[in-house]
Structure 1
Amino acid sequence: MTDLGYRYDHVIIGGGVAADAAARALHEAAPEASIAILSADPHSPVYRPALSKDLWHGESDDPDSQDLRTAEETGAVLFTATLVTELCPGSHTVVTARGQVVHYGTALLATGSTARHLPDVHDDRVLSLRTVGDYRHLRGLARDGARIAVVGGGYIGTEVAAALTRTDTQVTLAHSGRAILDHMFPVSITEHLEQVYTGHGITLVPGFRLAGIETGDELVLRSETGEELRADAAVLGLGAELSTTLAGAAGLDLERGAVVVDPYLRTSAPDVYAAGDIALFDDALLGLRHVEHVDHAQASGATAGRNMAGAEEAYEHTPLFFSDLFDDGYEAVGRLDAHLEMREEWNEEHTAAVVHYLEDGAVEGVLLWNTWDAVDRAREVIAASQQGELAPADLRGQIPPG
């Protein structure tokens, strides 16, 4: 194993998709530059969406099939299981948990997010799904008719519950809403999804707010109202927390719990950039926001990498996000908030839809339900609406569903 060096031209802190994209951009822009990737994860960077998608229903269930081959293809030196505990912008150094000091020319924070857990529950039958290690552990639990409870009816919870139906398990999906994904989707879609999920054998438990888990011979999950669910394992999809401890301790400007960056993804510290989940950026269409999805990780990581190599490229990308839920799928741009005004347009078969999300008459988000190759057009619609060039009455027909 290569020893950690004294100095690198560029140091990337984090081991996800944003780190991989930054290393590729750096290598292309400055092939002779030295790059170190310091990742707390023991596994090399992988395409993480596959952990709840393709690995369950694709050609291979081996997470190594999703390895991004970052080190091999970028020339970067990758150090896994290497936790950075200090970022010192004044001396242009980082310090690892082993006390190693590394000097950098530029540094990138791509530390991502961590899953929320119950603080008093320490049992290997209770897990989240964020890493390759989590995936392998869940695969081991999902066998022999095991009862697995998934808690959380949002993005990750619905994907994990769907994935588990491909295994020999009894799946329960408990969530706090009236229906799964009802914080994002109109009733027309949530009612359809409820039928699909129950049709695949998933037991749905609405209105379940997890209060605690008793760990004995079996797990007993208790809601705030005293309702109990019994399971052999539990997957918690309770959302994520941005990993900004390192940035905060270094004195970087934080806002809304994220790291403030300028249009070039530079932080408040000289020669320190941020990309991916933790970056609070000024979206060209939607204003100040942070985004926790892979499209943003890839695009912002690549822009940051080019800028670390000397470019002055503004980050002007409005990210998309996507999911596949059994035979349905969607892509989306912007805010999908069911509290906003939702205007639906369906195809004749009622199998595909476009939903516009409006606030004060302006489009804030677009859902493309079973509607493909329309993301760029969705961005155009948002831009035109935000600029007052497209009235709500004129939205119908702008993006044909299907």
Structure 2
Amino acid sequence: MSDGAGVVIVGAGECGARAALSLRESGYPHPVTLIGDEVHLPYERPPLSKQLLLAEATSSPPPVLTDIMLAERGIRHIGEALVEAIDPAGRQVILSDGRALPYEKLLLTTGATPRRLPNAPASRRIRYLRTMDDALELRPWIRAGTHIAVLGGGFIGLEVAASARSRGAEVTVIESQERILKRGVPEAIAEMVETLHRRNGVVVRCGVTVLRIEADDRRVEISLSDSAGISADVLVVGIGAQPRTELALQAGLAVDNGIAVNDRLETSAANIYAAGDCCSFPHPLYGERRLRLEAWRNAQDQGILAAANLAGGASRYAAVPYFWSDQFDHTLQIAGLVDEGRTVVRRDLGDGAFILFHLDGEQRLVAVSGIGQGNRIAKDMKLSEMLIAKRITPSIHALTTAPSLKSLLPRA
């Protein structure tokens, strides 16, 4: 490796780790430093609410980077470290222990943090799920004979509910909206997910708000707006996440629902980039609408693109937004932005599986959502994602009757 300050990456999650790997895979010759606040090496987060809670024995999620990979690629990893400040003029970051690390270019992949429940008592029986340690601390509660209350009917809350119920726990989901998965998931799919949960013994209570929470060493008592109450062994709170923008604000960077970047993932300060859950960016498929995505695919894709631009490239980010969730034996997938669609067309795939095509006012395909057992919808969702990326305006008849969606793709 050549000398020089090189690239410093603040945030050692999926996005930061993928950026570090991509820099080396592209032949970047200068130092690469990856700084994380956890003791663990970078790991995959999707298993935290699924496989890690379901495992019969203590286990860890798959690593993104290992000690061997770090050594072989010459990536410096600094764990259990907090970056307290960025000095854009001096091109350095300041750690909480007083160390100053110089950089030629800086990438912020600081991620997001769970939204905290206001006025909740401090108790080990009120849990949040974001890190491996969070999952390992929650896991002993996920067993037969316990009652798990889940506040929030979004992806994370429902994944925890499904995992807990699969291990025999009694589960109640509390959602203040009139239905679960209100944000970005079509009602038809949300209804199927709710039916799936109820069929598996999960109690789902929508349209109720929490009035008061009390907790002691034995129970959590939750008072609700419908005059009913819930007594549980533990309360898992999943009410959304907030981007970690503290460092960006301290450094004077522009912030707009996350660290504001352009289509090359550049911030408002020279030589500083941001990617993943912490940043908002304009998307060319949706009229440069500014988005912030909390998704594994986005973190991976933006980490790879940021690496290319840190190494001197000028690539623009235009990947189709993609989300997925496992709910018992079903998989839910969404490609694109559902709320951009005005017309919805359904394609049935058999065995109860289906996908919904979302078309805008000009009949362009802007999103596809689907649900089915196992990998039942995987092929059609992948082809649909390609159709969205190519800005296809298919006929409704073709969407519902074509033997294969591949036939709708333009020929090379």
**Same-fold call, TM cutoff 0.5:** yes
- The answer to whether 1:372 aligns with 2:368 is no
User: 2:33 — aligned with what?
Assistant: 36
How far the C-alpha of 1:148 sits from its partner, in A, is 0.9
User: 2:86 — aligned with what?
Assistant: 87
- The answer to whether 1:297 aligns with 2:291 is no
User: 2:138 — aligned with what?
Assistant: 138
Is the 1:39–1:83 contact (alpha carbons within 8 Å) kept by the matching residues of 2? yes
SS in 2 for 1:191: helix
SS in 2 for 1:285: helix
Amino acid aligned to 1:314: R
User: 2:98 — aligned with what?
Assistant: 99
How far the C-alpha of 1:391 sits from its partner, in A, is 5.4
**2:185 and 2:144 mapped to 1: Cα distance?**
34
Matches within 5 A, 1:247-262: 247-255=248-256, 257-262=257-262
**2:134 and 2:265 mapped to 1: Cα distance?**
30
User: 1:3 — aligned with what?
Assistant: none
- The answer to whether 1:9 aligns with 2:15 is no
Matches within 5 A, 1:325-344: 325-337=327-339, 341-344=343-346
Is the 1:323–1:330 contact (alpha carbons within 8 Å) kept by the matching residues of 2? yes
SS in 2 for 1:149: strand
Is the 1:23–1:35 contact (alpha carbons within 8 Å) kept by the matching residues of 2? yes
The answer to which of 105-114 and 308-317 deviates more is: 308-317
Distance of aligned partners of 1:378 and 1:130 in 2 relative to their CA distance in 1, 3 Å threshold: same
Distance of aligned partners of 1:246 and 1:353 in 2 relative to their CA distance in 1, 3 Å threshold: same
- The answer to whether 1:382 aligns with 2:388 is yes
Is the 1:284–1:318 contact (alpha carbons within 8 Å) kept by the matching residues of 2? no
- What whole-Å deviation, never above 9, does each CA across 1:43-97 have from its counterpart, x for those lacking one? 221100011123244797511x412225532432212221111111111011122
**1:115 and 1:170 mapped to 2: Cα distance?**
24
Amino acid aligned to 1:112: G
SS in 2 for 1:21: helix
Between the aligned residues of both structures, percent identity stands at 29
Distance of aligned partners of 1:152 and 1:339 in 2 relative to their CA distance in 1, 3 Å threshold: farther
Amino acid aligned to 1:51: L
**1:369 and 1:32 mapped to 2: Cα distance?**
44
**2:137 and 2:402 mapped to 1: Cα distance?**
45
How far the C-alpha of 1:163 sits from its partner, in A, is 1.0
- The answer to whether 1:283 aligns with 2:283 is yes
- What whole-Å deviation, never above 9, does each CA across 1:312-359 have from its counterpart, x for those lacking one? 322222231111111211221122349955332223x35111112344
Is the 1:377–1:399 contact (alpha carbons within 8 Å) kept by the matching residues of 2? no
Instruction: List alignment gaps of at least 5 residues for structure 1.
Output: 1-5
Distance of aligned partners of 1:394 and 1:342 in 2 relative to their CA distance in 1, 3 Å threshold: same
**1:184 and 1:113 mapped to 2: Cα distance?**
19
Distance of aligned partners of 1:113 and 1:183 in 2 relative to their CA distance in 1, 3 Å threshold: closer
Distance of aligned partners of 1:398 and 1:248 in 2 relative to their CA distance in 1, 3 Å threshold: farther
SS in 2 for 1:165: helix
**2:187 and 2:53 mapped to 1: Cα distance?**
28
User: 2:194 — aligned with what?
Assistant: 194
- TM-score with structure 1 length normalisation? 0.88
**2:17 and 2:402 mapped to 1: Cα distance?**
36
The answer to which of 213-222 and 121-130 deviates more is: 213-222
Is the 1:30–1:309 contact (alpha carbons within 8 Å) kept by the matching residues of 2? no
Distance of aligned partners of 1:26 and 1:363 in 2 relative to their CA distance in 1, 3 Å threshold: same
The answer to which of 130-139 and 391-400 deviates more is: 391-400
User: 2:160 — aligned with what?
Assistant: 160
**1:188 and 1:321 mapped to 2: Cα distance?**
17
How far the C-alpha of 1:262 sits from its partner, in A, is 2.3
Distance of aligned partners of 1:200 and 1:230 in 2 relative to their CA distance in 1, 3 Å threshold: same
- The answer to whether 1:68 aligns with 2:67 is no
**2:369 and 2:314 mapped to 1: Cα distance?**
33
What is the CA RMSD across the aligned residues, in angstroms?
2.7
Aligned counterpart for 2:309 among listed residues 304, 307, 310: 307
Distance of aligned partners of 1:341 and 1:305 in 2 relative to their CA distance in 1, 3 Å threshold: same
How far the C-alpha of 1:19 sits from its partner, in A, is 0.7
Is the 1:86–1:95 contact (alpha carbons within 8 Å) kept by the matching residues of 2? yes
How far the C-alpha of 1:157 sits from its partner, in A, is 0.9
- The answer to whether 1:353 aligns with 2:354 is yes
- TM-score with structure 2 length normalisation? 0.86
Distance of aligned partners of 1:338 and 1:239 in 2 relative to their CA distance in 1, 3 Å threshold: farther
How far the C-alpha of 1:392 sits from its partner, in A, is 5.5
Distance of aligned partners of 1:261 and 1:211 in 2 relative to their CA distance in 1, 3 Å threshold: same
- What whole-Å deviation, never above 9, does each CA across 1:209-248 have from its counterpart, x for those lacking one? 2344211242112334544211110111100001111112
How far the C-alpha of 1:11 sits from its partner, in A, is 0.8
Amino acid aligned to 1:215: A
**1:315 and 1:184 mapped to 2: Cα distance?**
21
**1:183 and 1:226 mapped to 2: Cα distance?**
26
**1:355 and 1:399 mapped to 2: Cα distance?**
16
Aligned pairs, how many? 391
Amino acid aligned to 1:253: A
How far the C-alpha of 1:265 sits from its partner, in A, is 1.3
